[in-house]
Structure 1
Amino acid sequence: MDKASVPDDPPDWSTDCDWSQLQADMLLRIVGTLEIPDLFSSGAVCRSWHLIYLEARRFRLCSPKQSPCLVYSSGDRDADTVTLHNMSTNKLYHVTLSEPAFRTRHVMGSSHGWLITADERSNLILVNPATGAQIAMPPPETMNNVRLRYTEEGVLDGYDVLYMDILSSDFDTETEPYHLTLEEARFFFYERVVLSCDPSQGNCMVL
């Protein structure tokens, strides 16, 4: 080959290629091989990548090596850090959440990749442990028959649950309310919580 015909510099593929125009089936195969943090990050690259990312999650087209992760609060990390332990690869991923601290919450359920947690005041908070996204649900006192209870010093002490006639929806004012501590309320108000879909997709119902 004539040496003069060989280009001096190799082409700059980073500028010549439009990665957003990759074929959908090829991109889907690539996304399916990614580790958990990279998988979620791929959805933020551009619109076309985000659509493929949603398809991969919807049809669970992740790599067979991606086993479900254990999610917990590790003792060697801060209280606001979530640890994801991939049992297949034995890799650990750490995600820092905003307040309240993850270690102080009780997990009431998991659905569509999200955890449903109850904090120390029994407020429900949806948590995506892989992305760190959180969604606060209406607090218990928004229920018609639930009242906040305070001490004489004005410190929140728990909840009072008024007895209610289910048919008439009238409160029984003669019967003593059921008193709950903040800790007891978590298990009184919620037995198990599930989601109708991924909350990030909108129109999600929490049951």
Structure 2
Amino acid sequence: MELPQDILMSIFSTLEILDLIRAGSVCNSWRSAYTSICSLGHCKPQQTPCLLYTFESDSTKATGLYSLAEKKAYMLTLLDPALPSRFIIGSSHGWIITADERSELHLVNPITGKQIALPPVTTIEQLSIARSGDDKWTWLPPHKDYEDCIFRDGLLYALTSEGEIYEYDLSGPAITRKIVLNKVWRSYDPLDDEDEDASDDLEADHDDESYVWNTTMIKVHKVDLVARMLVEACDLGENVLILGHNQSLCLRADEYPLLKANHVYLSDDRELYIKGCKNGCRDIGVFNLENNCAEEIVSPQLWSNWPPPVWMTPNARKISLETHSL
């Protein structure tokens, strides 16, 4: 006897994405329920982040996904052109931002295989936005060295290398900006502390496999929105941080029980590693803030060093089962 579709959909809405894909492969009834779940966007909202990476398979580059929820690796089959041939710029809401050999930008959903071409890079000026259907980017002043940004409820928050936070309201006909936090530190690069000759040597040998930055300490601060200042926190409490060249995430461990509270899941976000240093080992792991120790995510290492691995939260909308090998 088959379960009614509404009951199946209720059950499927509690599943992690990879479990949902497998469930949709069981039979026609289950496939119909899973297709409806994806089309309506009723998937489980608290999807555990995964690590997207490339690896060698039969002398060619393949794309893999390591599930933190299952502690298991999967191979993904994407549409052409293949992901390993591109630069991975970042990720947000299940989409990977990539650049091809001509520096043209594309959004790629590794779960569905869907790709979206973005406006030409010649129209980008530092922090810029583009809405669906735009043929060029819209610049958001002022000129700053931005490190991270988050979009939520019509508001874009942008963080500079000097600790400034700007809030852009994109919900109205005219974009408005206000300062959430003023500059709190100077822009810092560890290479600034090296003498000139040492810096030249590092630049000349930046493709050497021994060139790697290891995380040995992480300081946590909160933004006091009333006082407009940073307040140092001793730990994350029951929270979890996901850091890298992805959209930074702060998650509640009670909503993501397969992640460790007061831990930081990190991957390299240094610009040098995103654009080059193709043979350098990557600083990827789980950092325990209680004892300031880093742990490996998996051993032995699954991923190639190029393109650098990136965290992503699986997005199951309009999944095509034929794009997967699970």
Please tell me the TM-score bracket, short chain as reference.
0.3 to 0.5
Structure showing the higher helix proportion among its residues = 1
Bigger-Rg structure (1/2)? 1
Higher strand share: 2
TM-score of the two chains, using structure 1 as the length reference:
0.46
TM-score, normalised with respect to structure 2: 0.31
